[in-house]
Structure 1
């Protein structure tokens, strides 16, 4: 990205406003004075097919289009937008969804199409950053309407925002776009690595691809043959906020053990029987059907106890625990588990007995270990880039905080 040089704001050159201190040359401007909502209507022509964006086409808090949009010929009158205008979801569930349009199209009436009133006063690229400010989001969250709450422009229109001169706006927008490009590049790389990882899992865990040096035949096993332990967790009061840390369904929702999403239980006599050991696998056996079979492996030393609605799987000496963990996460294993699950009104379930009967083909233990090591290396590469992505996102967040408030000035 190169080095961006900043100079800190000279506080001798600060002027006070009724709301805050801003640098000399900046103004506090009410939104109504500098931007407007575009209300150009578009009536679909049956002969014409133009991209029509709905709120669900925006990824939460990213401003990125998912890549799909519906045909405008399927909808009634919509709002038209043009390349360079800013789209912002005003309906309560979709607040903080925004996009700087890079093509012309039409969108749902639940999306504001925003643009500068005067290009000499406000650059739309800077406007795109303004709608991401805490001040803007906070105002947008003051919603109106009972059934489907939505932001109210009449309320927001008179809220003042710090506004730098146009050249500084443009420079700030350019700097932040550098971070956007780096973030987008990292996100694309992660997607590519994830696709490669899934393909590698499918080939290695099925035996379609063999590692060099291994030629022995794979053998069929029942799942129970590779388990030293398979148990349900302890029942506890979900309202507890103190006590021993216990797992719950949310603890493994992201595919890892998330200690920020644990529960707590009062101490009990045989609690050590429920304490997780290094390498234990947690398995979601009561969940919505699409989440049945989700797993996470415990690779930590922090005390954590096995809670309800998850099965604990402890692998025996017949198998490599990491291999079994990856096998459980394979598309084939998830598909088998979901086919065995019994659906209910809001969730489905698979019993420990049914899980034990699942058949799997296993290579020799040394080959299992080698396969698990290769998949672990691939997994670790993805995690490294996820951490890089998180660091870039935090850097951008910090930059926005100081640049959009004038706490740090940029060289023009």
Structure 2
């Protein structure tokens, strides 16, 4: 049975005095993450108004700015939110809140909101259009079955992410404990690794008869996949600008970050470095690059441009300590398994996310 969203769902508009809410749980369009990846607390900025809109546990929060980013989170507690984040709550017992959550996660819903949005530079979802969105409403038993299947996958992905965060912290702590040592040989980042810049991929579009790849740009690196990328490049490029799951990528312009790529095979766009080494272990070059990230971010923030960046000379001026081969081998036996476990979890989550998207497309 096809039904309209507005007949079964409320867009909650509750407010509370700012002093009475826990601002550490504030959800904005900035800290709710793209591509259905939940929320990162705390938010960078908190409003200074006397009152603020709020959400309740189990409300479904969706950023109403640039809906094509697919920012959605099912609240795990009560808290305050931005006016540009919509809280959805079922008002009819025939619609389960969990089922509403998976409906609103679907590409079908986000495409509808995007297509009916108002504005061009920073489009906003049209609330009048949103309440007219139509979806299939099965019986309660089928709603439970569908939502349970999706939520089990999400729970496993969240657990893997938590384990990975802990492993990443452990890796960094051990690295800093043993590798930041004045007694070791001094070097710099360009001496331990190759920082290969990507290409302006608009110049390498695929021919009609050749295989193509999605383009990895800063936006895709932030969200962790290229699922929404409309840009394609030729697959017949040098391997140095082709990235695969687990590769170390360093965004040196705009949003500076160092991370292992979590998406599929892709072509590396400009403003991104693929970091490799034929001499040192992957964990070694990953941690040393990440070690200098805060300094790189400060350098980029000081640029008199709209998009801060660093230069290759900044890599050359970044101090690195090189231990003896014997000591490095000892640390590799300890740190390589941790790094490898992280990559395995990244790959597992990639497969789980694909399965989740397949099921969402199947049901909606």
The 2-side partners of 1:139 and 1:225 are apart by 47
TM-score of the two chains, using structure 1 as the length reference: 0.63
2-side partners of 1:95 and 1:358: how far apart?
Answer: 35
Change in 2 beyond 3 A, CA 1:328/1:138 = same
Shift of 1:398: 2.5
Shift of 1:115: 2.0
CA shift in 2, pair 1:282/1:113, >3 Å = closer
In the TM superposition, what are the counterparts of 1:220-299 in structure 2 within 5 Å?
220-223=185-188, 239-241=203-205, 287=253, 290=256
- Structure 1 pair 339/321, CA: closer, same or farther in 2 (3 Å)? farther
Q: 1:355 to 1:249 in 2, by over 3 A?
A: farther
1:123 paired with 2:96, answer yes
CA distance in structure 1 between the partners assigned to 2:250 and 2:46 by the alignment: 41
When structure 1 is superposed on structure 2, of 374-383 and 126-135 the one drifting more is 374-383
User: Partners in 1 of 2:361 and 2:216 — Cα distance?
Assistant: 35
- Structure 2 vs 1, CA of residues 401 and 80 (structure 1 numbering), >3 Å: closer, same or farther? same
**1:223-280 Cα shifts (integer Å, max 9, x gaps):** 59967x989989989624369x9xx9959x969xx9999978x99xxx9xx999xxxx
Instruction: Determine which of 80, 97, 117 is the counterpart of 1:106.
Output: 80
Partners of 2:205 and 2:232 within 8 A in 1: no
2:65 equivalent to 1:91: yes
Structure ranking higher in helix proportion: 2
**Structure 1 residue 381 and structure 2 residue 341: aligned?**
yes
Of 37, 49, 72 in structure 1, the residue corresponding to residue 21 of structure 2 is 49
Does the Cα contact within 8 Å between 1:320 and 1:365 map onto a contact in 2?
Answer: no
State the distance in 1 between where 2:172 and 2:48 align.
Answer: 36
1:368 and 2:342 correspond: no
Distance of aligned partners of 1:112 and 1:381 in 2 relative to their CA distance in 1, 3 Å threshold: same
Spell out the pairing of 1:73-222 with structure 2 (5 A cutoff).
74-92=48-66, 95-119=69-93, 121-141=94-114, 142-146=116-120, 148-207=122-181, 218-222=183-187
Contact 1:72 1:106 in 2 (8 A): no
8 Å Cα contact 1:126-1:172 kept in structure 2:
yes
Matched residues, number: 338
Residues in 1 aligned to 2:204 and 2:32: alpha-carbon distance in whole angstroms: 37
Q: Deviations over 1:192-218 (max 9, x none)?
A: 11111111221232359xxxxxxxxx5
CA displacement at 1:373 relative to structure 2 = 4.9
TM-score for the superposition, normalised by structure 2: 0.70
Pairing of 1:389-408 with structure 2 (within 5 A): 389-402=349-362, 404-405=363-364
Distance 1:339 1:369, change over 3 A: farther
Q: Which runs of 5+ in 1 are unaligned?
A: 1-26, 209-217, 297-301, 406-412
Distance across 2 between alignment mates of 1:254 and 1:358: 24
- Does the 8 Å CA contact 1:238/1:263 hold for their aligned counterparts? yes
Q: Once the two structures are superposed, what CA deviation does each residue of 1:106-128 show, in whole Å capped at 9, x if it has no partner?
A: 32221222222311x11111111
Q: Which moved more, 1:27-36 or 1:85-94?
A: 85-94
Instruction: State the alpha-carbon separation in 1 of the partners of residues 199 and 328 from structure 2.
Output: 35
* RMSD over aligned Cα atoms: 4.9
Deviations 1:41-82 (A, max 9, x none): x25265x23444322231223362323258988325443433
